[in-house]
């Protein structure tokens, strides 16, 4: 059963309505979120997730979220959780009621890890590349596009996943018209070349990944080279392994790209998973 907690720590019934129709989170997708992985009662990367929530709020000119509020709601979810050993914990923070006093709407929602995600973690996934339409330099010159903010306006991300399904795949690597790799609709892309891990920089118009950062920390400690730098789409085919990192999917392996089987990266996947696990 999902567990819903308000920012004051109150538990609410997630099957009952909580949001007014004039909440700007609903009416305009005007709000932000984070998804934190909780394993055996311990939230992972809590600090980086909260820091990113604060950055997203700043990019949207929203009031700064209170760490105490989200800690309280998080604790309430953990205290009331009766499900499996892992929780996908969502933090949501909207601009609040249209024409209201500016008080954001916030809550924390604990969900089971879906069977789909569990299967994908284990067996890997097929992905396609899709043009995101934005050149690699637009995020810097046009901050109003909110590239790099984790907003509730995810309709395009969801449409991209449906396009993937139409093409017999389950995931998407967004790319720029000028030939660079961006990210997945809900994850960070990591490309492995020998003992080097590469991921695109946030400046290209993507979210800095919390799970990717954890993996890079662990890998660097064990002597890997880790590079946050632009990756060309043409370089994907040369990689020894391609992986999506996100809180709920951890490190998920791509076995197929645009209909073509990738080289077997199960050994690399095991190694990255070991590195990721070593952080916790």
User: Is 267 among the residues that bind a copy of itself (CB under 8 A)?
Assistant: no
**165-184: string of b/e by CB count within 10 Å (b at 16+)?**
eeeebbbbbbbbeeebbbbb
Least separation, in Å, of the C-beta of 137 and a copy of itself?
9
What are the structure tokens assigned to 233, written together? 């789409």
Residue reference for tokens 């080097």 = 196
Interacting residue with a copy of itself among 133, 194, 259, 263 (CB under 8 A) = 133
User: Is 117 among the residues that bind a copy of itself (CB under 8 A)?
Assistant: no
Stretch that binds a copy of itself, among 132-140, 193-201, 211-219, 271-279 (CB under 8 A): 132-140
Residue reference for tokens 């984070």 = 34
Return d(Cα 240, Cα 195) in angstroms, integer.
10
What are the structure tokens assigned to 206, written together? 């993507």
The candidate with the shortest Cα–Cα distance to 3, out of 117, 155, 122, 112, is: 112
Which residues between 156 and 215 bind a copy of itself (CB under 8 A)?
156-160, 162-163, 177
Nearer to a copy of itself, 134 or 224 (CB): 134
User: Is 258 among the residues that bind a copy of itself (CB under 8 A)?
Assistant: no
Phi, psi of 278 (to 5 degrees): -65, -15
User: Is 260 among the residues that bind a copy of itself (CB under 8 A)?
Assistant: no
User: Is 144 among the residues that bind a copy of itself (CB under 8 A)?
Assistant: yes
Nearer to a copy of itself, 33 or 81 (CB): 33
User: Is 115 among the residues that bind a copy of itself (CB under 8 A)?
Assistant: no
The string of DSSP letters for 32-66 reads EEEEEEEETTEESSHHHHHHHHHHHHHHTTPPPPP
Return d(Cα 114, Cα 104) in angstroms, integer.
29
Nearer to a copy of itself, 153 or 273 (CB): 153
Interacting residue with a copy of itself among 51, 86, 135, 235 (CB under 8 A) = 135
Task: Tell me which residues touch a copy of itself (CB under 8 A).
Answer: 2, 4, 14-31, 33, 59-61, 90, 92, 94-95, 99, 107, 109, 114, 130-135, 138, 141-146, 149, 151-160, 162-163, 177
């Amino acid at each position: 059963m999902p567990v819903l907690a308000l920012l004051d720590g109150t538990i609410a019934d997630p099957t009952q309505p909580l949001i007014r129709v004039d909440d700007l989170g609903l009416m305009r997708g005007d709000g932000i979120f984070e998804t934190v992985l909780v394993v055996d009662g311990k939230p992972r990367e809590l600090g980086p997730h909260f820091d990113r929530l604060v950055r997203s709020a700043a990019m949207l000119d929203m009031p700064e979220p209170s760490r105490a509020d989200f800690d309280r709601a998080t604790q309430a979810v953990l205290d009331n959780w009766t499900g499996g050993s892992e929780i996908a914990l969502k933090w949501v923070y909207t601009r609040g009621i249209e024409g209201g006093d500016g008080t954001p709407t916030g809550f924390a929602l604990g969900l089971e890890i879906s069977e789909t995600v569990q299967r994908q973690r284990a067996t890997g996934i097929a992905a396609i590349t899709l043009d995101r339409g934005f050149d690699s330099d637009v995020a810097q010159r046009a901050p109003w596009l909110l590239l790099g903010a984790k907003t509730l306006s995810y309709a395009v991300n969801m449409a991209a996943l449906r396009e993937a399904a139409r093409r017999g795949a389950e995931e998407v690597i967004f790319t720029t018209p000028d030939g660079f790799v961006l990210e997945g609709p809900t994850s960070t892309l990591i490309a492995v070349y020998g003992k080097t891990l590469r991921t695109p920089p946030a400046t290209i118009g993507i979210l800095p990944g919390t799970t990717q950062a954890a993996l890079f920390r662990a890998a660097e400690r064990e002597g890997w080279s880790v590079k946050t730098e632009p990756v060309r789409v043409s370089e994907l085919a040369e990689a020894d392994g391609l992986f999506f990192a996100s809180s709920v999917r951890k490190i998920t392996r791509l076995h197929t790209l645009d209909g073509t089987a990738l080289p077997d990266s199960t050994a690399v996947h095991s190694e990255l998973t070991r590195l990721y696990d070593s952080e916790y």
